[in-house]
Amino acid sequence: MTGGAAERVARPWGRAHGAALLLALFLAAPAAAQGLAVLPRLTEGDALGPGWRVVGLPQQKPPLTRYAAQRLDGREVLRVEADRSYGNLAFDWPAGVSMPQWLSWSWRVDEAPKGVDLARKEGDDTPARVCVGFATPLERLPFVERQLLRVGRRMSGLDLPAATLCWAWGTTETPGAVVVNPYTARVRTLVLRGRADALGQWHDERRDVHADFRLAFGDEWDGATPPLAIMALVAADADNTGGRSRAYFAGLRIEAGSAP
């Protein structure tokens, strides 16, 4: 689709890396707390916020992306630095708790890796992204992907997320484009920002998670609300491009209710 419609770039499943990516997402969830009024703060003083932890791929060779608390522009922020690295800062979602409708945050990118192209394996890096993983029922998935996910779950012994929605700071992609991850169609990215957005400046986001999930996974899910959430994460990586990036996050929060 062109114009104001979302642009989807389909790519095949990457068997090894795709399964590892899903496993890394799931490893974000060590123990489920009951009830979730708000997401914990990303930082608390000079430390990461409670419940947030850094996770990477199983047997990962590149270094982990660095996450640290910092004061910047008069507020506490999360600094995210990737240097030919990969890693997610993740938080597990309480079992049985639905995803609220709205997700808000502020982000600022000061440096982005060169050669980024989210639709290609060699360019699948981003200086900043926010993601939520969902427990989509297997029967909603295409047959081949359903079988591959079952294999991944059996090999890992974990209930890997069947659908992960990310909001990313891209480069060459058109803002509003939905890009299917080149390693696995179980991860789909809605591009919000790119090269037209000024580096070194804060940008505020407020996303209707329910609407964005239908946009990205509407071919598999026709419900008014998404399936139950499993995890949330913020991340940056530069392992595929061999580059570097630096970004900041602040004010990540969830809200219930209808459109403002």
Question: Domain segments of the chain: what residues?
Answer: 8-31+38-255
| pLDDT tens digits for range 118-146 | 999 999 999 999 999 998 777 777 887 77
Give the alpha-carbon dihedral of 222, 228, 234, 239, to 10 degrees. Answer: -70
Residue 9's pLDDT is 37
Residue 23's pLDDT is 57
Look at residues 258, 209, 215 and name the one whose alpha carbon lies nearest to residue 232.
Answer: 209
Look at residues 203, 194, 197 and name the one whose alpha carbon lies nearest to residue 172.
Answer: 194
| Selection from 2-11, 35-44, 236-245 with the highest mean pLDDT | 236-245
Query: Residue 236 contacts by C-beta under 8 Å, 6 or more apart in sequence?
Result: 65, 80, 81, 82, 126, 127, 128, 129, 245, 247
- At residue 155 the predicted structure's pLDDT band, cuts being 50, 70 and 90, is low
Task: Name the pTM for this structure.
Answer: 0.83
- The CA-to-CA distance between both ends of the chain, in Å, stands at 28
Query: Residue 149 contacts by C-beta under 8 Å, 6 or more apart in sequence?
Result: 22, 138, 141, 160, 162, 186
Look at residues 227, 217, 154, 211 and name the one whose alpha carbon lies nearest to residue 181.
Answer: 217
| pLDDT tens digits for range 204-257 | 999 999 999 999 999 888 888 899 898 899 999 999 999 999 999 999 999 887
Percent of the chain with pLDDT over 90: 57
Which runs of E-coded beta strand occur in 84-221? 88-92, 102-111, 126-134, 163-169, 178-180, 187-193, 203-208
Residues 128/107, Cβ–Cβ less than 8 Å:
yes
* Minimum mean pLDDT range among 14-18, 84-88, 120-124: 14-18
Task: Write down the CATH superfamily of domain 8-31+38-255.
Answer: Galactose-binding lectin (2.60.120.430)
Look at residues 96, 101, 78, 98 and name the one whose alpha carbon lies nearest to residue 88.
Answer: 78
Q: How far apart are CA 40 and CA 83, in angstroms?
A: 27
Q: How far apart are CA 119 and CA 141, in angstroms?
A: 21
Residue with tokens 């999930």: 213
What type of residue is 237?
Answer: D
Q: In the predicted model, what is the mean pLDDT of the chain?
A: 83
Q: How far apart are CA 184 and CA 21, in angstroms?
A: 8
Q: How far apart are CA 155 and CA 138, in angstroms?
A: 17
- At residue 21 the predicted structure's pLDDT band, cuts being 50, 70 and 90, is low
Residues 240/121, Cβ–Cβ less than 8 Å:
yes
Tell me what the mean pLDDT of segment 60-67 comes to. 94
The H or E element containing residue 75 is strand 75-83
Q: What is the largest CA-CA distance in the chain?
A: 51
